[in-house]
């Protein structure tokens, strides 16, 4: 049984962490071929060939595949689909854009955000913001799956897969890229960081969000935020953790001024250790916290930053 895995490629570079985690899930399904697609993707393909458990890499380079536009990328995957029983990708926003389109073109029902592999056709996935876990069995000939990366460990390096080039499918010409607004940061990436410090509405302003960032930098952490903090303009959208933002499972998650709505918990409750700092002792976040501190964040956070030194 063969698996085609769409690698996470951003501007020619491999998203190693997300791709390697998806490889861990895909290995349980069969022989893994990785597809690296983009305007430039050769370097990403070479990097993917080193992931342990990858047996072959296909590289597709074409202007139409740049910026991961859904229509051209889906057409490419469908053109390669023969001979694969599973088509998988890490559940990033890129893959969530592309894979349901692939599934519909193959007349398969997508399995989104699989958090567990039971067997070749049976998968676990969280529903209702993680308040329930459903086991589903697919009866489709081709199974199209996105993998929730936070529940799989990354496959190691040391592989030496062969690399082949393939050509892009005809460009449907339905969409074009205009611009990206990406904040450059030296901090670790949110979904792969070992430590995440998140701020909520309680932080009160964009300026005061610096308190969160300073604590994060002290811990070498990524910075996250609740939806309320993003909606209020304290933090950019790509910091949102939750049901409709990013799902993280770091070794340590520090929630500051966050009440703990189920939609937020959905994105962080699989973290190993959770710390909550909130002035309201009734806040639901304390129900999932390993260590809770009932305190005013404006005193507690600077003190914590200092004492961690």
Partner 1 sequence: MKVLVPVKRVIDYNVKVRVKADGSGVDLANVKMSMNPFDEIAVEEAIRLKEAGKADEVVAVSIGVKQAQETLRTALAMGADRAILVIAADDVHQDIEPLAVAKILAKVVEEEQPGIVLAGKQSIDNDMNATGQMLSALLGWSQGTFASELDIDGDSAKITREVDGGLQTISVKMPTIVTVDLRLNEPRYASLPNIMKAKKKPLDEKTAADYGVDVTPRLEIVKTEEPAARAAGIIVGSVDELVEKLKEAGAV
Ligand X SMILES: Cc1cc2nc3c(=O)[nH]c(=O)nc-3n(C[C@H](O)[C@H](O)[C@H](O)COP(=O)(O)OP(=O)(O)OC[C@H]3O[C@@H](n4cnc5c(N)ncnc54)[C@H](O)[C@@H]3O)c2cc1C
Residue 3 · residue 26 · CB < 8 Å: yes
Considering beta carbons, is residue 188 or 257 the nearer one to ligand X?
A: 257
**Gap between the Cα atoms of 184 and 182, Å rounded:** 6
Q: How far is the CB of 35 from partner 1 (least distance, A)?
A: 18
Window 199 to 228, contacts with ligand X (CB under 6 A) = 200-202, 226-228
Cβ count near 56 (within 10 Å): 17
Q: With respect to ligand X, which residue has the nearer C-beta, 151 or 243?
A: 243
Residues facing residue 37 across a β-bridge: 60
Q: Report how far apart the first and last C-alpha atoms of the chain are (Å, whole number).
A: 52
Among partner 1, ligand X, none, what binds residue 279 when CB lies within 5 to 8 Å by partner kind?
Answer: ligand X
Residue 119 contact partner, candidates partner 1, ligand X, none, CB within 5 to 8 A by sort of partner: none
Supply 16's token pair: 């190693």
Given partner 1, ligand X, none, residue 40, with its beta carbon under 5 to 8 Å by kind, binds none
Using the minimum distance from each CB to partner 1, give the nearer residue, 1 or 183: 183
CA distance 228 to 240: 9
In this complex, which beta carbon is closest to ligand X, that of residue 90 or of residue 257? Answer: 257
Q: How far is the CB of 151 from partner 1 (least distance, A)?
A: 11
Residue 24 or 243 with smaller CB distance to partner 1:
243
Asked whether position 99 contacts ligand X by CB under 6 A, the answer is no
Query: What whole-number distance in Å separates Cα of residue 222 and Cα of residue 198?
Result: 8
- 232-291: contacts with ligand X (CB under 6 A): 240-245, 257-259, 261, 263-264, 267, 278-280, 283
Give the span between the Cα atoms of 71 and 3, in whole angstroms.
21
Cβ closest to ligand X, residue 131 vs residue 185: 131
* Contact in structure between 30 and 54 (CB atoms under 8 Å): no
Placement of tokens 């399995």 in the chain: 111
* String of DSSP letters for 248-274: ---SEEEEES----HHHHTTTTT-SEE
Kindly state the smallest distance separating residue 295's Cβ from partner 1, in Å. Answer: 8
Please give the residue ranges that form the binding site for ligand X (CB under 6 A).
200-202, 226-229, 240-245, 257-259, 261, 263-264, 267, 278-280, 283, 296-298
């Amino acid at each position: 049984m063969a698996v085609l895995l769409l690698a996470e490629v951003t501007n020619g570079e491999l998203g190693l962490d997300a791709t390697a985690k998806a490889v861990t899930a895909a290995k349980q399904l069969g022989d893994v071929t990785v597809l690296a697609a983009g305007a430039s993707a050769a370097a990403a393909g070479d990097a993917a060939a080193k992931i342990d458990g990858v047996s072959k890499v296909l590289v597709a380079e074409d202007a139409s595949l740049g910026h991961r536009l859904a229509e051209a990328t889906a057409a490419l995957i469908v053109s390669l689909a023969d001979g694969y029983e599973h088509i998988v990708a890490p559940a990033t926003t890129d893959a969530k854009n592309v894979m349901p389109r692939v599934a519909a073109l193959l007349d398969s029902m997508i399995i989104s955000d699989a958090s567990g592999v039971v067997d070749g056709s049976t998968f676990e996935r969280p529903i209702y913001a993680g308040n329930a876990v459903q086991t589903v069995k697919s009866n489709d000939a081709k199974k199209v799956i996105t993998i929730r990366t936070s529940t799989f460990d990354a496959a190691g390096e040391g592989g030496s897969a062969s690399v082949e080039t393939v050509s892009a499918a005809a460009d449907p010409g339905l969409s074009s890229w205009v611009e990206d607004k990406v904040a450059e940061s030296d901090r670790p990436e949110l979904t792969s960081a070992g430590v995440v410090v998140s701020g909520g509405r309680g932080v009160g302003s964009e300026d005061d969000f610096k308190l969160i960032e300073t604590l994060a930098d002290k811990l070498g952490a990524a910075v996250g935020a609740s939806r309320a903090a993003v909606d209020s303009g304290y933090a950019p959208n790509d910091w949102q953790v939750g049901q409709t933002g990013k799902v993280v499972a770091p070794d340590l998650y520090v929630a500051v001024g966050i009440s703990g709505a189920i939609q937020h918990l959905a994105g962080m409750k699989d973290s190993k250790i959770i710390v909550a700092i909130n002035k309201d002792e009734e806040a639901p976040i304390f129900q999932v916290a390993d260590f809770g501190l009932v305190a005013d964040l404006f005193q507690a956070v600077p003190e914590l930053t200092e004492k961690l030194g």
